[in-house]
Structure 1
């Protein structure tokens, strides 16, 4: 019996074969496909259509929270959620701007709301095109009118997921505040228990929930766009890869922007004629950079899902 052929010794080689398969597959797609053009297209549409989508979603959630849950400040939960969803670099200014637009969005007419809906559809049209190119093997393309209907459906689905996420943020925040108050009234309570409760609640609220929301949004695009649908296991692999990489990229971008401060050169100074314009331009540059990187991460995750589906057919796994 050759002991080197037993399972513990063959596992590292099998793992290296799998990693090599994915590395070669992604590198081949980067060389043959217009990946960076796709990422630029996604970034452009995100800057145009993502804000209208947020305005519609926050307008709905603001109405729900204010009139159904009777909350005095319905946008407090929205601000908390957006603060965890965006990089930390100057996200307060971005959230305040979106908040102001959302408050104004409550006064939009039906025509204005329809215009925002159409703008949001354009983002998902681009995402559908990119995903269709990623899963291009053995797939069926939709007709033009079915494509637009599908994009409208995805706007509703992702918007619904966004609304549910904000509601969960509000509920978890209320639970955390209630738990903090209850633990503070208990006699002889251990300080370590209070610290443990705070760490657990913050971990769920600021780390686990954004990760699950990101996975839910990416899963819908990776699964529903290709026809026929790819295997759920392959979609989960691509979704998890994208969500983890996106969260890491968000923190890395926050560190890069706050430590090296490359965007501060566009900010206001004492000799700036229009200080607000300088600050706005710096934030805009940061958002463009982040949108482009998000599009690139989204494409890489889709490639991972497509490669996993291909590996299942070839018996690599």
Structure 2
């Protein structure tokens, strides 16, 4: 009787069929996501990806910086590294500390860029399999992929993903200097003089960073699993991962600000703790994005069967 009254009141506001569709939507995505998080042990799987990322982070940084140092002078390279730091470590205090370390060590690094490049390449040959194999294992399970391939084929795919990631990072470094040049020209233009170019630049950097994140996550979701996913499923996963990543960045920022403001943790130790937490949170968000994509895929499958 009470349920009937509740539905009657709801029906006076919105049609019952529409309300049922809303309930089905919430049940499918929110309840379904909760069940999948519990089923696939999100926090344990996130720790596995984070551990693999830590192992491959140093050789990847060495290789990318070695390649970039052959393309740019020290000052330009420093600006590009600072831009990457602002994206990866989106908390000013710890990003500033990292920038100071980079600024003092970068000239020395450029002098040994050839050795750093070889060291990074050899290190990636060893660690790339761990990074992308852990991602592939988790994504194959989430997307219910049963396809198995030869381990040698898997190794070649992992090396291909590393090469693609290096090319992607290298190309992305050209975006901000080009946009910066356009805005510098705009500052001297009479037409653009009435606009706040600084605010425009901040907006462009923010939007560009989001687009780069979406493209990167789309590539990971689309290329890593052995099964070829529909592009819109991979795009849906990439979109929600980027959105949740941006949301987590702000929430995590408040947490970091509160936690470290009340604890005597400074310098390198604080930076290490921040990076550890952030990589772990990002790994968990990456898995959640994949699970949302699978829920979207299941919903598309049900709709196609009902037609």
State the TM bucket, normalised to the shorter chain. Answer: 0.7 to 0.9
CA distance 1:113–1:31, shift in 2 (3 Å):
closer
1:274 aligns to what? none
* Structure 2: distance between partners of 1:194 and 1:56: 40
Question: Partner residue of 1:252?
Answer: 251
Corresponding residue of 2:83 = 80
Are 2:135 and 2:224, in contact at CA under 8 Å, matched by a contact in 1?
no
The secondary structure found in structure 2 opposite 1:227 is coil
Partner of 1:42: 49
Q: Equivalent residue for 2:8?
A: none
Q: Which residue of 1 aligns with 2:37?
A: 30
Larger displacement relative to structure 2 (145-154 or 218-227): 218-227
Superposed CA deviations along residues 56-99 of structure 1, whole A, max 9, x for unmatched, are 22322232233xxxx85332122123213322150122345466
SS of 1:64 mapped into structure 2: coil
The answer on whether the counterparts of 1:134 and 1:306 sit within 8 Å (CA) in structure 2 is yes
Greater shift in the superposed pair: 236-245 or 307-316: 307-316
Q: What are the equivalent positions in structure 2 for 1:1-317 lying under 5 Å apart?
A: 10-66=17-73, 72-88=75-91, 89-97=93-101, 100=105, 103=110, 106-108=113-115, 111-121=118-128, 122-135=130-143, 137-180=144-187, 182-183=188-189, 186=190, 193-195=194-196, 197-205=197-205, 207-261=206-260, 264-267=263-266, 279-315=267-303
SS at 2:137's partner residue?
Answer: helix
Residue 260 of structure 1, CA deviation: 3.7
Alpha-carbon distance in structure 2 between the residues aligned to 1:262 and 1:20: 40
**Secondary structure in 2 matching 1:19:** helix
Give 1:282 deviation, angstroms: 1.9
How far apart are residue 133 of structure 1 and its match? Answer: 2.1
Counterpart Cα distance in 2 of 1:264 and 1:166: 36
- SS of the residue 1:203 aligns to: helix
Deviates more, 1:38-47 or 1:83-92: 83-92
CA deviations 1:288-313 (Å, max 9, x no partner) are: 11111011000000111111111111
Unaligned runs of 5+ in 1: 268-278
| 2:48–2:134 Cα contact (<8 Å) kept | yes
> What's the CA shift for 1:211?
0.8
User: Contact 2:64–2:166 at 8 Å: present in 1 too?
Assistant: yes
| Count of matched residue pairs | 289
TM-score, normalised to structure 1's length? Answer: 0.81
* Contact 1:83 1:95 (8 Å CA) reproduced: no
Contact kept? 1:263, 1:286, Cα under 8 Å: no
Residue by residue over 1:178-233, the C-alpha shift from the partner in whole angstroms, topping out at 9 and shown as x without a partner, is 322x14xx3xx786x322x432332111x111111111111111111223311111
Aligned position for 1:275: none
Distance change >3 Å, CA 20–CA 118, structure 1 → 2 = same
